Amino acid sequence: MTPIAKTISEVRTAVAAARQAGQTIAFVPTMGALHNGHAALIQAARRSAPYVVVSIFVNPTQFGPHEDFARYPRTLEQDHQLCTEARASLIFVPTVDEMYPENFVTFVEVKELDQLLCGASRPRHFRGVCTVVLKLLNIVQPDVAHFGAKDFQQARIIQQMVRDLNVPVQIRIEPTVREPDGLAMSSRNQYLTPAERAVAPRIYQALQSVLQRARSGEIDVARLESVLQGELSAIPGARVDYARIVDAERLQPLSRLDRPAVAAVAVVLGQTRLIDNVVIA
């Protein structure tokens, strides 16, 4: 089984030994409740470097006061098995106190990119994400770190943070892994009732519909967003948080498809908030 480290000093000792042995380091940060999408990230990391560190930490600073921090699934035994099967070299499982010691007062923000999409409805979410990711990068000091494309805004923000703060790591964004019916794999999918799970694939179907319209020549973003909003709103029991088409680089609104863009959505089914996106090149 893959060894588990619970303290920062243990991780640094293990990584230092790997570097002493001439190995490069890849890193996959997670919040646990791992699934095949995470396995794909770990496998991609294995192709990047011989020594792969996976962190499992449900980060309290990225949850709002009425969000699901307390009930977020914690499945360490199963996660350990998945990491072992995916050939991770080390699993870092810190406590909240290890990551946020007493009198912790320093946070990291990436302005502008955090204002739209998830940032509009989840204030301070990306402040928590950036803070914990920068801490983890400083702890592990990897050569390369792997993130999933499902969290497009998060990945873009982390790329910007790493560039702006001169963090010596390469960020690689891996394709979204989907269920056979198209639903993007997510740890939160297990919250869905059978009825909600049955209609959830329509989120990706709506995105695909808009993508096909764009590929067929539609460039008016307002019309495309109207179609996207309409198809999502037609999903039984769905509440659309946002359905936007934005500049893929700056995450700002567009009027026309005259540059690379991303169609990004957040949809609430019952008590479960699901996000997804497609890139419109």
**Which residue numbers are catalytic?**
38
Please return the burial class of 69, using the count of CB atoms within 10 Å of its CB with bins 0-12, 13-18 and 19+: middle
The conformational region for residue 80 under phi > 0 = left, psi -120 to 50 = alpha, else beta, is alpha
Strand (E) or helix (H) holding 138: helix 125-140
Count of residues making up the chain: 281
Q: Are 245 and 280 in contact (CB under 8 A)?
A: yes
Rg (CA), the chain: 19
Q: Could you tell me whether strands 4-5 and 51-56 are parallel, antiparallel, or unpaired per DSSP bridges?
A: unpaired
> What is the identity of the amino acid at 169?
V
